[in-house]
Amino acid sequence: MTHHRILRRPLLGAALLLPLPAFAQQRTETPRQTRGPFYPVAFPADTDADLVRVQGAAAQAMGTVAHLRGRVTDTAGNAVAGALVEIWQCDAQGIYRHPRAPDTDRFDTNFQGYGRTITDATGGYAFRTLRPAPYPGRTPHIHVQVTRPGGAVLVTQFYVAGEPLNAHDGLLNAIRDPRARDAVIIPFIPADRIEPRALLAQADIVLG
């Protein structure tokens, strides 16, 4: 009997040290959006995280450079390391690199149109891309797909804060919860100290 008691006491003590989940700060989960019709059917030869410069191209893409950066976490704020982050978007003229996209023969071949990276130990990711341009029927947006090491996928879109077309965009406004909607509307701010005339967009991604 004495032996039994000795084993028990430390277990009870450990139970009292467990965190109380009710008090944890929950982060707003990044809302899901449609993948849309223009995810690449064939990846470009260059798929790195710098979409503005295509390997072997003489010039860089038309448009305003934007550094898109953030962290991928779960709703408790824990880093999701080793996640695949993919982005794709139209060029500065509003044209996608995709066989079914309107005017794709005029796509800016100096723009990669698609890029991918893997999150680091802190969940961090970074792309050099363009401030997205509008095209008929859509406010400017960047398509985003995040694949966890275990295989779970989140597809969403990032929008530009202050863009007047946001008010009339059907897909953006289909996100009914204002907090969730705000989570994908990203300020694009001048960031000349990173690169002259470039913008910085900081967008954290919260996985459920």
Point out which residues bind Fe ion (CB under 5 A): 36
Residue placing its CB nearer to Fe ion in the complex, 70 or 140: 140
Residue holding tokens 């023969």? 105
- Contact yes or no for 32/156 (Cβ under 8 A): yes
Query: Nearest distance from residue 121's CB to Fe ion, in Å?
Result: 31
Q: Which residue in 178, 201, 182 sits closest to 191, CA to CA?
A: 201
Structural element, H or E, at residue 173? helix 170-173
Closest distance between Fe ion and the C-beta of residue 112, in Å? 15
Residues 6+ apart with CB under 8 A from 140: 131, 132, 133, 134, 159, 160, 163, 165
Instruction: Output 36 or 82, the one with its CB closest to Fe ion.
Output: 36
CB of 158 to Fe ion, least distance (A): 11
CB of residue 21 to Fe ion, shortest distance in Å: 38
Q: Which is nearer to Fe ion, 71 or 138 (CB)?
A: 138
- Is the CB of 76 or the CB of 174 nearer to Fe ion? 174
The residue number with the shortest CB distance to Fe ion is 36
